[in-house]
Structure 1
Amino acid sequence: MTIGLRRTTAAAALAAMVLLAAPAATAHALPGPGTAPAPTTAATATALELPRPTGPHAVGTEVLHLVDHSRTDPWVPTAGARELMVSLHYPARPGSGGARAPYMSTEEARLMLVQRGLEDIVPATALSSTLTHARPAARPAPGRFPLVLLSPGFGQPRATLTSLAEDLASRGYVVASVDHAYESSGTSLPDGRVLTCAACDADNAAPDEAAARAVRKKVSTGRAADLAFVLDRLTGPRPAWDHARTIDRRRVAAAGHSIGGSAAASTMLADPRVDAGVNMDGTFFEEIPATGLGKRPFMMLGTQAGHSPGTLDTSWNDGWKRLDGWKRWLTVRDSGHFTFTDTPYLAEQAGLPVDPTAPLSGTRSTQITRTYVAAFLDQHLKGAAQPLLDGPAPDNPEVVFNTP
């Protein structure tokens, strides 16, 4: 599964969100895919918490509202200029900053549940009250750090990559997670507006697969422009962030989940400032050209079901052949499309059954995603050799190195 929004994947997305937020008290009654789940109440909901970051730094966070006046929004032209919400996570001085930041707003949580038909089953507060480990307005740690641009899956809020963003920040990276306007189930803006997923509507309305792929390519290339603009606003002469001096503009990576992974490659194709990229379980909707990515490193990290050599998604086979720099193609046994997001860990913490289509535990899902993404970035942005990336490791038997 590469997107999770088309009608053919609705059951899987439904099951994933039930596992994410359903109260632990009713775990024994969880439905199978396609079965109407039993109603629950907010009173039985379990408070959830993201996994602790593993690096030596405390983590600060700040949210930016950026407006690109040079572009009209591609999905809702009447809205005017392209708007983005960006969550920054960065290495911080211990003991500084306010109370731990919320995972997402209640309205964003509600809309994510509405998109999946769960608004009367799962309380939005089960998500909005989830505790993160980042503190708003914390003072940055001394030094300059590489920048990682993160793009979420199609229809997914940027919050779904929070545990990865926090962990990378704790290891010495500034991370910019982007909500792309009208491409998420719900994006809250500072003035009170909440943008919903017009791009999802366009995808679902596509009359055939060719038209749907055209929509998804438009998403991928549009996000490349978004990420380039974010890079401009963080590293340009008049940066949008007060602490932009902590970013080392000479060391930049793009990474993403699902279509956000495709956008990472599209960003590298469009912007030579991006030094490395990671695609987490996303079809490449913009074809990598025969000339490759200019010898820049790229890692593909995905599910065996969707992205092993010989499976239906030929874009990884084609992309692999054209990648012309350092490259790795890793698949994770027993994983699912949402393995590379916060979903499995939150489900496990709530004491819920493991998704039978993706039995890898939430703890291992988080460990593997964090470990391999950080190893890739450490090697290519910090120059620290990572033997973990040389081949299979006994400590990570689920990770398969593909060399087609």
Structure 2
Amino acid sequence: MRKALVAGLAGVLLMSSAAAATASTTQLALPAPAGPYAVGSTDLHLVDHARQDPWVAGTTRELMVTVRYPARPGGGPRAPYMTPGAADIIAEEDARQLGIDADRLGYTFPTHARTDAPAAGGRRPVVLYSPSAKYPRSVGTTLLEQLTSQGYVTVAIDHTHEPAAVEFPGGRVERRVLPPGTDGKLLIATRVADTRFVLDSLETLTRGENPDAALPAGLSLDLTRVGMFGHSAGGFTTGETMVSDPRIDAGADLDGSMAYSQSTRDFGRVADEGLDRPFLLLSAGNHSAASDGSWQEFLSHQRGPVRQAHLADGEHFSYTDYQALLPRLGLDSASVAPFIGTVDAGRSIATQRASLGAFFECFLRD
């Protein structure tokens, strides 16, 4: 879970608080998707009535997911990057590190997806997304909107009580409650269970049998063609889910180790056993199969097709929206380089879109 326990964006920005404090309010934005379809978006509240929440005793496991889908032009308002309740908490957390007013951090800026837009016709392959540890589902928006604009239905998962905040219907917000020294194996096992539950939910949703949620009218999912990708711990989650669930046909790990401990060679099942399905490894900076023992172990056992790509002048968080957002904050470039590298943001995002898009095009639609 390479750098999964990094303090996060607040920690990045703390290093540049002096520069940030003097900057004017930043207008945050993401690059527009370049595919032929408009993007529709809806948030679903999913309740796993059969499972207790592992982090809060005596409660049922609940998840929020964002479903983006190819849409016809028009529709509702542009969906915000984060919902207001979650955005406020994350802004306050970051602002305390920066020594600035939280009002200056506009995390509810509009994305390129329109809320509840009419779905375009046709059955669509599905791609799931799992974010890095302690991060919200929103941090993969750039890549998810692009894949959606290319004709996929994408489903971004919030692993409740990992991110600083997850907002549920009615404005209820669940905060991060991971205890100190949280067992990495329990964290990944919880994520795998979350992902498999989301797949189960998508199956019941397509049959119109889910009492807790519904898909937009006219949206048709092809659940015989399912992919998944994730960043950092989300990439590890992708591999571990594929080991135990054959419904995922192709997966991608964006710069995430497959180890609970590199020093003791305590690797995940995906590294020890490999997969019989296609897998993509995207790395950056000084991280690659040459430096990661868990990736080496995975490659020695992998039976399905493998693709690899390396962003030499990028860094770990280049594979998140921070590649697009951090340069807009007016921070000193030297302070953000350890997180997004020195790569040109436009080139980095274009390379990621091309690699991920070609991989899923080949193994989900070709």
With the length of structure 1 as denominator, give the TM-score of the two structures.
0.80
Q: Which of 214, 237, 242 is the matching residue for 2:215?
A: 242
Question: Residue 356 of structure 1: CA displacement?
Answer: 3.0
1:348 aligns with 2:322: no
Q: Which residue of 1 aligns with 2:262?
A: none
Q: Which residue of 2 aligns with 1:233?
A: 201
Equivalent residue letter for 1:60: G
Query: 1:162-194, CA deviations, whole angstroms, 9 ceiling, x for partnerless residues?
Result: 111111100000000011111111111113221
Q: Which of 279, 287, 295 is the matching residue for 1:298?
A: 279
Contact 1:3–1:154, Cα closer than 8 Å, also in 2 = no
CA pair 125-101 structure 1, distance change in 2 beyond 3 A: farther
Secondary structure, counterpart of 2:351 in structure 1? helix
Equivalent residue letter for 2:109: T
Secondary structure, counterpart of 1:184 in structure 2? coil
Query: 1:271-297, CA deviations, whole angstroms, 9 ceiling, x for partnerless residues?
Result: 11110111111111423265422x100
Q: Which residue of 2 aligns with 1:364?
A: 347
Unaligned residue ranges in structure 1 (runs of 5+): 19-30, 207-211, 384-404
Aligned length: 347
Distance 1:319 1:162 in 2: 28
Task: Name the structure where strand makes up a greater proportion of residues.
Answer: 2
Q: Which residue of 1 aligns with 2:114?
A: 135
CA pair 172-36 structure 1, distance change in 2 beyond 3 A: closer
Question: Residue 75 of structure 1: CA displacement?
Answer: 1.1
Q: Which of 54, 62, 72 is the matching residue for 1:74?
A: 54
Q: Which residue of 1 aligns with 2:89?
A: 111
Equivalent residue letter for 1:226: D
Distance 1:330 1:250 in 2: 27
Give matches, 1:32-181, under 5 Å: 33=15, 37=18, 40=21, 44-78=24-58, 80-95=59-74, 97-115=75-93, 117-118=96-97, 120-121=99-100, 123=102, 126-181=105-160
Equivalent residue letter for 1:65: H
1:278 aligns with 2:252: yes
Contact 2:160–2:166, Cα closer than 8 Å, also in 1 = yes
CA pair 14-125 structure 1, distance change in 2 beyond 3 A: closer
Give matches, 1:317-336, under 5 Å: 317-336=296-315
Distance 1:41 1:86 in 2: 36
Distance 1:41 1:235 in 2: 50
CA pair 242-298 structure 1, distance change in 2 beyond 3 A: same
Distance 2:38 2:219 in 1: 18
Contact 1:258–1:281, Cα closer than 8 Å, also in 2 = yes
Contact 2:11–2:97, Cα closer than 8 Å, also in 1 = no
CA pair 124-181 structure 1, distance change in 2 beyond 3 A: farther
Question: Residue 93 of structure 1: CA displacement?
Answer: 0.5
Question: Residue 303 of structure 1: CA displacement?
Answer: 1.6
Distance 1:262 1:339 in 2: 17
Higher deviation after alignment, 219-228 or 252-261: 219-228
Contact 1:48–1:129, Cα closer than 8 Å, also in 2 = no
Distance 2:172 2:3 in 1: 26
Give the percent of matched residue pairs that are identical in Structure 1 and Structure 2.
Answer: 37
Query: 1:110-132, CA deviations, whole angstroms, 9 ceiling, x for partnerless residues?
Result: 43345554364363553323220
Give the CA RMSD over aligned residues.
Answer: 2.3
CA pair 245-98 structure 1, distance change in 2 beyond 3 A: closer
Question: Residue 314 of structure 1: CA displacement?
Answer: 1.7
Distance 1:289 1:336 in 2: 23
Secondary structure, counterpart of 1:317 in structure 2? helix
Contact 2:230–2:254, Cα closer than 8 Å, also in 1 = yes
Structure with larger RCO (C-alpha < 8 A, sep 6+) = 2
1:264 aligns with 2:247: no
Query: 1:369-401, CA deviations, whole angstroms, 9 ceiling, x for partnerless residues?
Result: 211111111010001xxxxxxxxxxxxxxxxxx
Contact 1:345–1:361, Cα closer than 8 Å, also in 2 = no
Higher deviation after alignment, 353-362 or 149-158: 353-362
Contact 1:40–1:122, Cα closer than 8 Å, also in 2 = no
Contact 2:20–2:98, Cα closer than 8 Å, also in 1 = no
Secondary structure, counterpart of 1:133 in structure 2? strand
Distance 1:364 1:109 in 2: 28
Secondary structure, counterpart of 2:297 in structure 1? helix
Question: Residue 245 of structure 1: CA displacement?
Answer: 4.8
Contact 2:258–2:271, Cα closer than 8 Å, also in 1 = no
